[in-house]
């Protein structure tokens, strides 16, 4: 493993990440100003979370040690991509960027935002039954020779640096902005059963990387003067350890958040029934009986 001083001092400028970070920081600042002009006060802690935790973690992963050594070390690349997909979007989401956008935009802009959120691609990526499969598809490429191309090709690095966090944001939207993705309690039960089964599947790429006795991307490690560099097989095993650990550790918060979403949905439905009059309840019961025939 690398010495601590190497981890702390390894820095680079990732121009794709810099564009993403700079653009996100500017848009959020403009949103804060526009929302304040409309009388909306965004919580300070959410602003700090967006800049320090969200964009800060994105900066460390792309411009710090994981970004500097991602082309040479499989485990550094795996650490970067998995955290960009699973962790950074949730930290950025603490800043509630969509809620801020709604407070800052005029009615026509809010309408466009709502139409974008209602797009089938966003709904698919934000579905908890589909989102884990997207991650599984991405990490399955680590078991093929494409793993080397993804790590070393400049175009692939730029695409992943921008695309993976955006994909993660789409996956995290139901958790970040629950009001935009309200579903019935019955749907949440089906969703939970599927995700629980899928928890056993998403660790497979990490397990295969860890236990395989040959280098799956067929690329031997280049000689390095750094004594802490592992050989190719050990590097692959460490990548498997990282992927296996991260995929499993994020499952527990996912299940907890799904329980929270189910509880909120159940309370909303209960309040909706409480607000109905006796005649409206009778009509609902009659409609239910007619459908059951």
Mean pLDDT of residues grouped by 10 in the chain (293 residues)? 88 95 97 94 94 97 96 95 91 92 91 84 67 80 94 94 90 65 51 59 86 89 72 93 85 64 58 56 58 54
Overall domain count for the chain = 1
**CA angle at 20 for the pair 19 and 24, rounded to the nearest 5°:** 115
Per-residue confidence (pLDDT) for residue 2, from 0 to 100: 85
Give the integer Cα–Cα distance in Å for 142 and 260: 33
Q: Is residue 167 one of the residues assigned to a domain?
A: yes
263 within some domain? yes
On whether residue 164 sits in a domain, the answer given is yes
pLDDT confidence of residue 238 = 95
- Residue 178 maps to a domain: yes
Is residue 165 domain-resident? yes
Domain of 47 in residue numbering reads as 4-272
Residue 181: predicted pLDDT = 47
Q: Within a domain: residue 289?
A: no
Q: Determine, yes or no, domain membership for 283.
A: no
Q: What is the pTM of this model?
A: 0.81
Which tokens go with 135? 């991650």
Taking CA atoms, 110 is separated from 41, 65, 101, 105, 117, in Å, by 18, 39, 8, 6, 10
- Residue 168: predicted pLDDT: 86
| Within-domain flag for 114 | yes
């Amino acid at each position: 493993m690398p010495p601590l001083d190497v981890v702390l001092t390894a820095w680079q400028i990732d121009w794709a990440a810099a564009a993403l970070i700079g653009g996100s920081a500017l848009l959020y600042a403009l949103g804060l100003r526009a929302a304040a002009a409309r009388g909306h006060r965004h919580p300070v802690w959410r602003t700090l979370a967006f800049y320090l935790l969200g964009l800060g973690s994105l900066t460390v992963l792309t411009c710090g040690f994981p970004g500097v050594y991602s082309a040479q070390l499989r485990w550094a690349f795996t650490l970067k991509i998995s955290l960009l997909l699973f962790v950074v979007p949730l930290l950025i989401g603490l800043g509630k960027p969509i809620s801020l956008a709604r407070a800052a935009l005029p009615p026509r802009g809010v309408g466009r935002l709502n139409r974008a959120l209602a797009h089938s691609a966003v709904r698919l990526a934000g579905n908890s039954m589909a989102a884990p499969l997207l991650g599984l598809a991405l990490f399955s490429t680590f078991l093929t020779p494409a793993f080397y191309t993804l790590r070393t090709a400049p175009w692939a690095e730029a695409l992943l640096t921008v695309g993976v966090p955006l994909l993660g944001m789409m996956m995290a939207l139901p958790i970040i902005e629950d009001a935009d993705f309200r579903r019935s309690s019955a749907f949440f039960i089906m969703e939970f059963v599927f995700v629980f089964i899928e928890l056993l599947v998403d660790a497979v790429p990490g397990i295969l990387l860890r236990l395989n006795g040959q280098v799956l991307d067929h690329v031997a490690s280049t000689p390095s003067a750094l004594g802490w560099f592992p050989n190719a097989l050990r590097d692959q095993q460490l990548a498997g350890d990282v992927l296996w650990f991260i995929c499993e550790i994020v499952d527990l918060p996912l299940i907890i958040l799904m329980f929270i979403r189910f509880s909120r949905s159940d309370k909303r439905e209960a309040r909706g029934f409480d607000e109905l009059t006796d005649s409206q309840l009778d009509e609902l019961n009659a409609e239910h009986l007619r459908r059951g025939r």
